């Protein structure tokens, strides 16, 4: 006998809770900037403030990717929201979460302790949703694929110091800032970008409100999550 279909609302609730915690951390840590010299106010050196913001953002991207995976897997297994929303399946549904992982990966021996779904790739997510559903809420993800890929580049630079991560982050910073002669200040890092005001690519309201890139990304993730799990 088939069991009850999995639930999905808690997946969004968990993500939004983690996102709020990261927003609060980023906002509060900036209140402690100081300690640059003996005459200044007591507090943390800006370098350490930026590092905390970087780590908060790294957690946001990881939480977003976990949200995508958990939502997609549950929808393929027949999950519905408390408002009775579910994507419209083209075919039959998976019989369990484990079966859903096998279906989405194309691997009948999928092992969650070893294997993974490619949720860091926005096109893979939307292509998978397009394949299994005739109507779904993942469409805006591919529309924002450039922003999401640049978020991954920021996250990767926080996590790694490889030349590729440095090169990718530099391209991301230039994409957002459009500096003269494509030159960034020496030592410019992810924290600098995340705390800098939005100049383009996030829409005029974000620019006019002088939202930071961290806040603009938070708003984007919230909007997309509410589309995926309305």
The domain ranges of the chain are 9-143, 145-228
pLDDT band at 1 (very low <50, low <70, confident <90, very high): very low
Q: Which of 1-10, 98-107, 131-140 has the lowest mean pLDDT?
A: 1-10
Query: What is the rounded CA–CA span in Å between residue 26 and residue 72?
Result: 29
Are 132 and 117 contacting, i.e. CB atoms less than 8 angstroms apart? no
The tens digit of pLDDT for each residue in 20-67 reads: 999 999 999 998 877 555 555 667 888 999 999 999 999 999 999 999
Are 47 and 148 contacting, i.e. CB atoms less than 8 angstroms apart? no
pLDDT of 45: 85
Say how far residue 39 (Cα) sits from the centre of its chain. Answer: 40
pLDDT of 43: 77
Are 138 and 72 contacting, i.e. CB atoms less than 8 angstroms apart? yes
pLDDT of 209: 98
Query: What is the rounded CA–CA span in Å between residue 81 and residue 67?
Result: 15
135: part of which helix (H) or strand (E)? Answer: strand 133-135
**Per-residue pLDDT averaged across 166-179, rounded?**
97
- Residue closest to 215 by CA, chosen among 18, 13, 27: 27
**Per-residue pLDDT averaged across 61-84, rounded?**
97
**Per-residue pLDDT averaged across 170-192, rounded?**
96
């Amino acid at each position: 006998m088939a069991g009850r279909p999995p639930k999905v609302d808690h997946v969004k609730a968990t993500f939004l809770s983690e996102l709020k915690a990261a927003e609060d951390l980023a906002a509060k840590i900036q209140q402690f900037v100081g300690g640059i010299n003996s005459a200044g106010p007591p507090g943390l050196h800006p370098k350490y403030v930026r590092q905390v913001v970087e780590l908060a953002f790294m957690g946001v991207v990881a939480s977003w990717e976990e949200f995508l995976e958990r939502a997609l897997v549950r929808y393929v297994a027949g999950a519905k929201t408390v408002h009775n929303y579910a994507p419209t399946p083209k075919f039959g549904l998976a019989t369990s979460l484990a079966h859903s992982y096998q279906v989405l990966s194309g691997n009948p021996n999928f092992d969650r302790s070893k294997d993974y779904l490619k949720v860091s790739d926005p096109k893979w997510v939307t292509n998978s949703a397009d394949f299994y559903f005739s109507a779904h809420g993942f469409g805006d993800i591919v529309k924002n694929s450039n922003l999401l890929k640049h978020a991954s580049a920021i996250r990767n630079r926080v996590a790694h110091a490889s030349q590729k991560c440095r090169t990718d982050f530099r391209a991301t910073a230039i994409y957002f800032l459009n500096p003269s002669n494509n030159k960034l200040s020496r030592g410019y890092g992810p924290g600098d970008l995340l705390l800098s005001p939005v100049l383009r690519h996030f829409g005029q309201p974000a620019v006019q409100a002088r939202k930071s890139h961290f806040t603009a990304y938070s708003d984007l993730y919230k909007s997309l999550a509410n589309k995926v799990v309305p």
